[in-house]
Structure 1
Amino acid sequence: MGEVRPIVQVGDPVLHAPCEPVTRFDGALAALVDDMFASMYAAEGVGLAANQIGVPLRVFVYDCPDENGERHKGVVVNPTLVLPGLGERRLDAGEEGCLSVLGQYAPLPRPDHATVHGFDADGAPVTVEGTGMLSRCLQHETDHLDGYLYIDRLPAKRRKQVLAAYEQSRPVGLGSTTGHQTP
C-alpha cells in the first residue's frame, strides 16, 4: 500500500495556494497516490488532496458514498469541476468537516450534484459524477487544490468560531508540517 504521511493543518501556506498541474504520470505519481490513500484511510477521511500531505500538486483521492449509499473510490489528477447552472442547482446544506481543520464541522450549503473531469494516475481521462456526500467531496477536494478550505466559504463570524474551537481543541504538538514534499 502506501506510506501514511502527516496531514497538514490549517495555517500552513501549502493549503492556501493553488496547486501546480501534474505534468508527469510516472512511478512517483503512483507512489504519491498510494501514500494519499494510506494517509486518508489512517485519518478516517473520505477524501484527501495532495496539498493536505504537503505536496502542492493537483491530485485528490476519494472513497465515499453517493446519495444512494453506493461507495465510489478513485483518484483525479488535474481536475476541472463542473456544477449545475444557477437555475438547475439544488443546495445540500449538510455539515462539512476537513482533516486539515481536525475535529471541526459546520453547515455549508453546496450544490447536490457535481462533475469532475480530469485524469487517472496513468494519464487516462476520467469523469466522476457525484451526488450526496460524493458531490460534496468532489467540490471540497477541488477547493483544496485551488487553495481554499471549507472554512473559507463560511460567513466570517462562523469561520472565526470554527477556528477558535479548533485552536482550543488542538492537541499539543499538532500543527502545520514544516517543509513541503514533491513526489
Structure 2
Amino acid sequence: MFTMNDFVKEDNPVLRKVAEEVILPPSQEDKQILNDLMDYVRNSQNSEIATQYGLRAGIGLAAPQVNISKRMIAVHLKNEKGDLVSHALFNPKLVSHSLEMSYLTAGEGCLSVNRTVSGYVPRYARIKVSGTNLEGEVVKLRLKGIAAICFQHEIDHLNGIMFYDHINAEDPFDIPEDYIPIER
C-alpha cells in the first residue's frame, strides 16, 4: 500500500518527464502498482484508514507521483449526480474534448504539492478518454464535471504537466465568463 512517504514532491524531475507507455498485457508488477494506486485513492477517502496511516485525501493519482514514470492512473470520486466514477487505467489517452471550457471554483490541489496554489485551472468541460483496465479490457469513457477535471489533471501528470502550469500567471483568477464553474 502506498502512503504519503511514497509521494515525490513537486520539484522532483520525474513529475516533469513524459511517462512511458505500459507494455500490454501488463506485467504482474504493473498490475500491482495500478492496484496500489487505486487502493491509495480509496483508502485516502476513508477517514478511519486515512487517519490511521496519515493519508491526504485525493480523488486521483498518477504513477509518476509515486516515482514510477509509467502511464497509469487511478480515479475514484462521486460526480455531480452522486454516481461513483472509479477507474484504474493503463495508458489512458484523451481521445477528444469539447470546445467548451470549465474550471473548479475552489481551484485544484495535488498530492505532490504541499502548498496552496491559488488560481483557476481552465479545463475542457467534456472529454472522451480511452485506456486499458486491470482486466485487459479497453475502456472508453465520456466524462464531464469533476470527473473530466480529475482525468485531465491525472493525464497531465503522465505528460510532465503540473496543474499550476495552466493558471494565468498575470491574473490567476481571470476566467472568461463563458467557462462553466464546477463546484466541489
Tell me if TM exceeds 0.5: yes
Unaligned runs of 5+ in 1: 160-183
Contact 1:7 1:39 in 2 (8 A): no
The higher relative CO (CA closer than 8 Å, separation ≥ 6) is in: 1
Matched, 1:146 2:147: no
Kindly provide the CA deviation profile for residues 146-172 of structure 1, in whole angstroms up to 9, marking residues without a partner as x.
11010111123568xxxxxxxxxxxxx
Give the match for residue 104 of structure 1. Answer: 116
Give the match for residue 133 of structure 2. Answer: 120
Alpha-carbon distance in structure 1 between the residues aligned to 2:157 and 2:84: 22
Alpha-carbon distance in structure 1 between the residues aligned to 2:98 and 2:144: 15
Kindly provide the CA deviation profile for residues 109-145 of structure 1, in whole angstroms up to 9, marking residues without a partner as x.
2122122101012321011222211010010000000
Give the match for residue 91 of structure 1. Answer: 102
Alpha-carbon distance in structure 1 between the residues aligned to 2:103 and 2:82: 16
Alpha-carbon distance in structure 1 between the residues aligned to 2:28 and 2:9: 27
Contact 2:75 2:86 in 1 (8 A): yes
Matched, 1:75 2:88: yes
Q: Secondary structure at 2:8's aligned position in 1?
A: coil
% identical aligned pairs: 28
| TM-superposed deviation, 1:3 | 4.1
| TM-superposed deviation, 1:48 | 0.1
Alpha-carbon distance in structure 1 between the residues aligned to 2:76 and 2:154: 12
Alpha-carbon distance in structure 2 between the residues aligned to 1:76 and 1:38: 13
Q: Secondary structure at 2:108's aligned position in 1?
A: strand
1:10-29 equivalent positions in 2, closer than 5 A: 10-24=10-24, 25-29=26-30
Contact 1:66 1:135 in 2 (8 A): no
Q: Secondary structure at 2:73's aligned position in 1?
A: strand
Kindly provide the amino acid, as one letter, of the partner of residue 27 in structure 1.
Q
- RMSD of aligned alpha carbons: 2.0
Kindly provide the CA deviation profile for residues 70-123 of structure 1, in whole angstroms up to 9, marking residues without a partner as x.
12111111111034343xx24235321111113424321212212210101232
Kindly provide the CA deviation profile for residues 20-76 of structure 1, in whole angstroms up to 9, marking residues without a partner as x.
000041211121012212333233100000000000000000101223221211111
Q: Secondary structure at 1:96's aligned position in 2?
A: coil
Q: Secondary structure at 1:57's aligned position in 2?
A: coil
Q: Secondary structure at 2:74's aligned position in 1?
A: strand
Q: More deviation in 20-29 or 141-150? A: 20-29
1:50-61 equivalent positions in 2, closer than 5 A: 50-61=63-74
Q: How many residues align?
A: 156
Contact 1:49 1:145 in 2 (8 A): yes
